[in-house]
Amino acid sequence: MKWISSLLLMAILSFAACLFLPWWSIAIACFLVALLIPQKHGIAFLTGFISLFILWAGMSYWISMHNDHILAGRMSQIILKKEDPQMIIIVTGLIGAFVGGFAALTGSLVRMSVKKQPLQSLS
């Protein structure tokens, strides 16, 4: 359950942050959520990855559908060098996913470093 709430929080926070801040604020959002909600590192990465993939691919799909994929078709020609609206949606999702995943992993690692005592004294 924890990872589902993380996933949702990451998506909601990322969305809210991008209303005011540049796109890379998704990294801050995922980092903070992973910092506050403890999870295994691997799970944290996956949560950030999946959360942002769903958010970014989902949003772009929604926008593109209402646009009859006109612009996705054109932009895919420029970015992917072939007309493929679906693929540009997936690429959008993946870009968000990797940034989100790595930011969440960083958050998770910071949490562990802060929480665990540094070197124990031996004497």
Partner 1 sequence: MEGLCHFFYTLQVIKFAMRYLLLFLTAAITIALCYILDTRTVLPAPLGRLLGPQQGFWQNAEPSDADFSADLHFNTLEGNATVYFDERLVPHIFAEKENDAYFVQGFLHAKFRLWQMELQTLSAAGRISEIVGDVALDHDREFRRLGMVYAAEIWEKEMEKDTPIKQACDAYTAGVNAYITTLNSSNLPLEYKLLGYEPELWSNLKTGLFLKYMAYDLAAHENDFEMTNALAFFKKSDFNALFPSLQDSLDPIIPKGTVFSPPAVVPVDPKDADSVYFHQTDTATAVENTKPEKANGSNNWAVSGSKTKSGSPILCNDPHLGLNLPSLWYEIQLSVPGFNAYGASFPGSPGVIIGFNDSCAFGFTNGGRDVRDYYEIIFKNQSKTSYWYDSSWKPTSFRIEKIKIAGKPDFIDTVAYTVFGPVMYDNNFSGKRNTGSKNYAVRWTAHDPSNEMRLFYDLNHAKNYNDYLQAAPYLKTPGQNCVFAAKNGDIAIRTQGNFPAKWKGQGDFIMPGTDNRYAWQGMIPQNEIPFQFNPERGFVSSANQRPVDSTYPYYLGRDYPTPRGMIINRKLSAMQQITPKDMMLLQTDNYNVFAEMAVPVILKNLRMAELADEEKAYAGLLQNWNFRSEADAKGPTVFDLAWKYFSDTVYFDEYANAPEFTERPLESTLLEGIIRDSAFRFVDDIRTNELETLPEMVTRAFKKAVVDITKADKENRLAWGKYKDTRVNHLLRLPAFSRLHVPIGGGKNIINATTEAHGPSWRMIVSLTPETEAYGIYPGGQSGNPGSRFYDNAISKWAAGEYYSLWMMKPSEQKDQRVKWKMQFSKS
**45 Cβ neighbours under 8 A, 6+ residues apart:** 101, 102, 104, 105, 108
Per rule CB under 8 A, is residue 22 in the interface with partner 1?
yes
CB of 37 to partner 1, least distance (A): 17
Q: Which is nearer to partner 1, 36 or 71 (CB)?
A: 71
Cβ at position 106, least distance to partner 1 in Å:
5
The helix (H) or strand (E) run that includes residue 41 is: helix 41-66
**CA 14/CA 84 separation, integer angstroms:** 27
Q: Which helix (H) or strand (E) holds 92?
A: helix 85-115
- Closer CB to partner 1, 7 or 99, in the complex: 99
Tell me how far, at minimum, the Cβ of 32 lies from partner 1, in Å. Answer: 13
Site string for partner 1, 96-115 (x = CB under 8 A): x-xx--xx-xx--xx-xx--
Nearer of residues 1 and 118 to partner 1, judged by Cβ: 118
Helices 2-20 & 25-36, crossing angle to 10 degrees? 150
Q: How far apart are CA 25 and CA 52, in angstroms?
A: 12
Give the separation between CA 15 and CA 21, rounded to whole angstroms. Answer: 10
Binding interface with partner 1 (CB under 8 A): 15, 18-19, 22-24, 26-27, 31, 55-56, 59-60, 63-64, 66-68, 70-72, 74-75, 77-79, 88, 91-92, 95-96, 98-99, 102-103, 105-106, 109-110, 112-113, 118-120, 122
